A and B are shown apart, each in its own frame.
Chain A
Amino acid sequence: MERVILLIDMDAFFASVEQQCNPALRGKPIAVIGGGKRTVVTTASYEARKWGVKTGMNLHEAGQRCPELIVVTGNNDKYTHTCTELKKIYLKYTPLVEIYSIDEAFLDVTASQHLFGGPLKIGERIKREIRSRFGINATVGIGPNKLIAKLAADLSKPDGLRWIKPGEVSEVLEGLPPDELWGIGKRMAAHLKAMGIKTCGELSRMHPGVLRSRFGIVGERLRMMAMGIDETPVVSDPEAEDIRSIGHSMTLPEDIFRISEIDRYLLILSDMVTFRARRYGYAGKTVSVVIRYRSFHTFSVHQKLSLPTSDTHLVYCTTKDMVRSVRLREPVRLLGVSLGCLVRNMPQQSLFSKQNRRRRFLETVDDIRCRYGKGILFWAASLQTETQGGVISPAWRPEGVHRSL
């Protein structure tokens, strides 16, 4: 049976929420930014986009493009609350809801569409309900799989509703540049262009062997994508997913070079990562550190541990050693810590009571944080650090851990 997948994509989500909360901002060009000392535009309202303000632009440049721009500091709680409320709306139409990111959700309505008069009716009703409850616009893309649903939404933004039926897929894809497809980036598109492939139609007609020899297994997948084929299911339960890693990264308030300052951020990140790992019952065997220099040159180092862990101190010490093994050549702009090769945490008891005590200590800290909020307890060593004011990551999910792509 042909699947029917909906993608609900909020239009300028953070900006729309802010405009909704503060009527004075409605109809005006606004940019939502993080809370740190220096920051970039996280989301621009459609009014601001007309002036050329884009996500990722620094404030100076945005201000030059749009002198009337109103800058609003983001408030994560508003967005996560809205996202959680939105999920309740989606669940009225199907239990198969995958909150893909804070402003995107996939719905598999294959089995429930007939109850509501077809996918377009569902799309309309969801759009109407979001508009009436939150006053914000959403775009709904409908297709036989996630890839096409996403494409349908991208092609009809903002405030759009489009259904690409299975019979229309090849027609839509024929003249489409490959990087319009979800999952094909600019660099891949450049590689393809160098091979003389400028559209999805051309890509789909390539001999699989040629693509495989050029790109490996990815080549095969590229061709499938260009044909509009995508088998990935809508996964409603993040626990059941194939989870690969748990990670956090942050752009620092200012570029730093001193190892003691880097350590402080490593501690904060290790704490965030291991807290989340423990919350969801995972332990990881590899620790990775991502470093981005002032020049935006980015690289990562990895370290395998002898046993999976979710211990804050151990992960922190490992990242410290890893950073010391690198000769830093420039001030650091962004740091990230992640825990990979995850396994379900099977609490192996330790022989030496110190270890058991430390685990009980961390469990207690976690419980307190869960009850009274994450900020209630933190490590003294991170005290001097400016607290993270960054806007929530677009990959945020209401529950569970990330599935890396």
Chain B
Amino acid sequence: MHIRVNKEELQSRLSNIQSIVDKKSTMPILGHFLLTVDQSSFITATDLETAIKEPLQIEEIKEGGQLCIPAKKFYEIVREMDGEIELEAEGTDWLKIRTGKSLFRIACMNPDDFPKWPQITDTKTISFSASKLQNMIEKTLYAAGESDTRYTLNSLLFHIKPDEKSFAIVGTDGHRLSLIKEPLNVEGLEETKVIVPRKSASELRRFLLKATRSRETEEEAVEAEATDTTILMHITKNHVVFKTDEIEFLVRLIEGNYPSYEQVIPVANEKKVLVQREDFIKALRRVSIISKDRSNAIKLDLETDRITLTASNPDLGDARDEIDVQYSGEAISLGFNARYLVDALNAMSADTVVFELQEPLSPTLLKEVGIENYICVVMPMRI
């Protein structure tokens, strides 16, 4: 292999794969990426759960081939170089990197040992807005479990229901749940559930964010609504490939049964409270300082137009706060892990949220005023 590449092109492609490349893995090859130079040239990186394949634009190909290059070091080198970079392989063991008068020679691994990109056959394909998908992941990922022994909880569920014409993403750790639904019109598809591991979902979110911004300049993107880049999802039994702009993002799915989340969403909670989101977050954060080392336990006393928040810790003392709300039902007291409520409120954006309760120990529901497709369920604590 012997090629010339533009530095900016190479650097931006390499930066996309840095978070996927696993530096701490026990398999050294996962700290490498695969560079394939042929009719079309591309870069492949994987951590065995997720993989990314992106095209690389090459200025001049003197000789094709494949090479397995240490991802982090190579990125560091490329960042420090200027102008056009010349890459030349010595067999499959060494890579020479040259610009101007600088020359690097780094050890590579055998490209045949790099994990193979799986055969994607028998796919169902859905096209969806990249920015919407990114937003959906953003709003559900916080609720997913992190190291639960019920491993399917350490993931997000993508649930496609053609009869309802909906596409839902769910995250839950068994104590709280977050669900967002978007309309989706697909023909000839049966109900589909795929379980995406948490880390892959978080990488996917980053990937989608880049994909939606790539068409604008960075500055515009921050302010403007992301343009509607379309993403194609190819779903198979074991994998999902997300594809946009020639970049392929592959996720290995978790096998298993996701808990039947629909049953635990309360539909008839009668006590409805209107709360100012920011005020509620601030009060929760303040009061829970006292109970941080006691599972963030706080007590909410709900009365007409008022919530009183209290926390106590025999080693420290206690705290009390009050917020004004709109409520006219009977008084009720509940215990909560304050973090669960704060996480849920932070994932929302409306000024006012509805907090729906029933019994002190039954599931509670949070949603934004005027928004029906996004809900968070939080289980109380026994106090």
Contact = CB atoms under 8 A, between A and B. Distances in A.
A307 B148 CA distance: 9
Interface in A319-348: 343-344, 346-348
A349 B361 contact: yes
Interface string B109-132: 000000000000000000000000
A350 B295 contact: no
Contacts of A347: 381-382
A308 B295 contact: yes
A355 interface: yes
Q: Which of B149, B264, B293, B337 has the most CB of A within 10 A?
A: B149
Interface string A347-378: 11111110100000000000000000000000
Contact of B363 (A306, A318, A351, A355): A351
Contacts, number: 56
B70 interface: no
Given A343-B293, A343-B295, A348 B147 contact: no
A135 to B, nearest CB: 42
A305 B149 CA distance: 9
A318 B148 CA distance: 11
Nearest to A359: B382
Interface in B59-84: none
Given A314-B149, A346-B295, A346-B335, A351 B381 contact: no
Main secondary structure of the interface of A (DSSP, over half): mixed
B172 interface: yes
Nearest to A351: B264
Contacts of B380: 349
Interface in B171-215: 172-177
Nearest to A306: B147
B294 A346 contact: yes
A351 B148 contact: no
Contact of B174 (A304, A305, A318, A350): A350
Interface in B140-162: 145-149
Contacts of A355: 174
Contacts of A318: 149
A352 B264 CA distance: 7
B381 A317 contact: no
Contacts of A348: 175, 295, 337, 379, 381
Contacts of A305: 147
A299 B314 CA distance: 35
Main secondary structure of the interface of B (DSSP, over half): loop
B297 A350 contact: no
B354 interface: no
B366 to A, nearest CB: 14
Interface residues of A, number: 20
B377 interface: yes
Nearest to B382: A347
Nearest to A313: B149
A318 B337 CA distance: 24
Nearest to B176: A351
Contacts of B294: 343-344, 346
Nearest to B360: A349
Nearest to A308: B295
Nearest to A341: B293
A79 to B, nearest CB: 32
A108 B125 CA distance: 76
Nearest to A314: B149
Given A350-B174, A352-B259, A352-B264, A306 B337 contact: no
Given A343-B294, A346-B294, A346-B295, A351 B337 contact: no
A242 B207 CA distance: 47
B149 A351 contact: no
Contacts of B377: 351
A349 B175 contact: yes
A178 to B, nearest CB: 34
Given A346-B335, A351-B172, A351-B176, A306 B295 contact: no
Nearest to B297: A346
Contacts of A344: 294-295
Interface in B303-326: 314
Contact of A350 (B314, B335, B379): B379
A308 B188 CA distance: 46
Interface of B: 145-149, 172-177, 259, 264, 293-295, 297, 314, 335, 337, 361, 363, 377, 379-382
List the 9 closest pairs (A to B, CB-CB), nearest first.
A349-B379, A347-B382, A346-B295, A346-B297, A306-B147, A351-B264, A348-B381, A306-B146, A352-B259
Given A346-B382, A348-B337, 10 more contacts: A240-B314, A305-B147, A308-B295, A346-B294, A346-B297, A346-B335, A348-B295, A349-B361, A351-B259, A352-B264
18 contacts: A305-B147, A306-B173, A307-B175, A318-B149, A343-B293, A343-B295, A346-B297, A347-B382, A348-B295, A349-B379, A349-B380, A349-B382, A350-B174, A350-B175, A351-B175, A351-B379, A352-B174, A353-B264
